[in-house]
A = this chain, B = another copy of it.
Amino acid sequence: MKNKFQINDPFWSYYQELVGKVMLPYQYEVLNDSLDDPDIEKSHSFENFRIAAGESDGAFYGQVFQDSDTAKWLEAVAYSLMVNPDEALEKKADEIIALIGRAQQPDGYLNTYFIAQNTEKRWQNLQECHELYCAGHMIEAGVAYYEATGKEELLSIVRKNADLIYRLFITEKREGVAGHPEIELALVRLYRVTGDARYLTLAKHFIDVRGTNPNFFAEERQKSGWSLWNMNPQNTDYTQVTHPVREEQNAVGHAVRAVYLYTGMAMTAKETNDPTLTAACERMWDSIVNKRMYLTGGIGSSAEAGEAFTLDYDLPNSTAYSETCAAIGLIFFAKAMLELTHDAKYADVMELALYNTVLAGVQRDGTRFFYTNPLEADPAYIKKLPGLQHVYAKRPKWHACACCPPNEARLLASLNRYAWHEDGEILYSDLFISGEYRPDAQTTITTETGYPYDGVVTYHISSAKKITFAVRMSAWSPLTSVAVNGSSRRYRLGNQYVLLENLVDGDTVSVQFDLTPSKMYANPKVHADEGKCAIMAGPLVYCFEDCDNGDLNQFSVSRIGDIHSVSIQDERIGNVNILKVPAWKFAPSDSLYSFQRPKAEPAVLTAVPYYAWGNREIGKMKVWIWEY
């Protein structure tokens, strides 16, 4: 099946081809343990399925959730096939799916950690063991692969698994929820594609019972008497089970767990028309976006706290966790809220996380990946200081916990689904990407733009009927103008969308966004950013690197002077606009403290998009920089 929106874009087509031609083949080799490279963490994810299917000896290896790497890879393949058909890749996927089918147990159970071993321990440790999490990812893969190829094999596998879970938790009334949310959103997707209401019932059940018994994980630990990681079951915030979801006031705990849960909540709220659940989602959103999110759209400010949210305005730059998966999950949450409320503010953050943290997560060549995304990096300190053990100055080729790389692949390959959304007759343009959008058989909207480096977006309407169409007024564009057929025209604005009605065949809509580079300032309550500024141009957050400027410790940004944008080509980071920023260069000093302000002379700093950092010579990087 083709996507309703086909991308043909100077900025994004590169990444979508990269997924199909480099990332997915590379990740297949990694998951298949075919690459002999000491820098590549062993995966064993496919092999675990072979062992579970009785087709290989050897023991299970890897994380308890190692299956989810295979599931996310399959889901990514599905999206990629919709963008770039690839028989060889599809054949590989079909073989893995057949293997998964052979590994599945007669009762529908499907988790290699508990098939290849520990069979007696199934369902006894929901807090740590990720059985429902892995089920959720495989369900998403089954749904996506069916949508992409029409093939039902994986879909029926995951339905059998979902039916087992339904029997356990609904029919047999087993207590408990997933220690790592994910299945909730997956079940809504399964409901949407199959129409089987039991899956929505099950999703709603997991959301409704969550937090009704905060002691559940402590009780199951006592009952089973075993623990995988010795996770503290009293730390109920970490797994978002301290309160029923409708009573929670703040976004808390492990950031990926949180946004996966909130996404499932928002999708369920939409399907069940649940105002209290919608209100809970909006509360979580406000907590994140107004108090606990980095400028880059990254979330989860502490490694020590457990890749987790901490407290309002605690947003340290160098020790930031800001996991790539958490930014991807925030995009899921934003997309679900967008479809629930049709408010452009959700698309603003979706775009922010996409163009910055998500893109920063992958090396330009597609074979290295960041797990954590700090806003300041100093290789002299990274790995050498406590609190910086989780940070990297260069993207590793793989990770022992490899959740991020396939998550990158599935998001970039499915980007087509994020550019537009619909509400009845209204077509919402959320992301500005060149391509062809076919909401129905009669209509095609062709978008042309050089966004995010060129603020002009042109829509050509081809339709046998009148259409209504809403363009997002990006929060990253201070001044935006809209014209239809060359003449700016009156429009209705709602939820930060410009609503254009009665457009007909041949109409052209032109939108001009203001992408002038601008300094950004954090709320003074954010201690980490006191006295500092950052720079954005449109949705792009910029950063400074040693390789463009020399030792960053010598510089501050000047309070005066204009920032100039220069378009460059550099194969290591692609075609980008770099920024020339008025700055001060400090004279070297041997003294630690001085009565005088550091002596400085005027200088110019070069800034590159944050997503591009770490692709060239390794050195210091700063997003927030002293404004002097």
Q: Which residues of A contact B (CB under 8 A)?
A: 289-291, 293, 295, 302, 304-305, 310-311, 313-314, 318-319, 376, 378, 380-381, 384-387, 478, 518-527, 530-533, 553-554, 556, 586, 589-598, 625-628
| Pair B595/A478 contact, Cβ less than 8 Å | yes
List residues of chain B with CB within 8 A of the CB of A385.
302, 305, 310-311, 314
Interface of A is mostly: loop
| Pair B593/A523 contact, Cβ less than 8 Å | yes
| Pair B380/A311 contact, Cβ less than 8 Å | yes
Cross-interface CB contact of A593 among B522, B592, B593, B595, cutoff 8 Å: B522
- Considering the complex of A and B, which 8 residue pairs feature the smallest CB-CB distances, nearest first? A531-B531, A304-B386, A531-B626, A530-B626, A525-B553, A524-B586, A305-B386, A521-B597
Closest CB of chain B to A290's CB: distance in Å?
Answer: 5
Besides A518-B595, A527-B553, 13 more A-B contacts (Cβ < 8 Å) are A302-B386, A304-B387, A305-B385, A318-B527, A378-B527, A519-B597, A521-B594, A521-B598, A523-B591, A523-B592, A524-B598, A530-B531, A531-B556
List residues of chain B with CB within 8 A of the CB of A522.
592-593
Number of copies of this kind of chain in the complex: 2
Q: Given A302-B386, A592-B293, A314 and B527 touching (CB < 8 A)?
A: no
In Å, the complex CA distance between A384 and B554 comes to: 34
List residues of chain B with CB within 8 A of the CB of A376.
527
| Pair A381/B314 contact, Cβ less than 8 Å | yes
List residues of chain B with CB within 8 A of the CB of A591.
290, 523
Closest CB of chain B to A267's CB: distance in Å?
Answer: 26
| 24 contacting pairs across A/B (C-beta < 8 A) | A289-B592, A290-B590, A291-B592, A302-B385, A302-B386, A304-B386, A305-B386, A318-B527, A520-B593, A521-B593, A521-B595, A521-B596, A523-B591, A523-B593, A523-B598, A524-B553, A524-B554, A524-B598, A524-B626, A530-B531, A530-B625, A530-B626, A531-B532, A533-B597
In Å, the complex CA distance between A287 and B167 comes to: 67
In Å, the complex CA distance between A591 and B295 comes to: 12
In Å, the complex CA distance between A387 and B388 comes to: 12
Closest CB of chain B to A545's CB: distance in Å?
Answer: 16
Closest CB of chain B to A494's CB: distance in Å?
Answer: 21
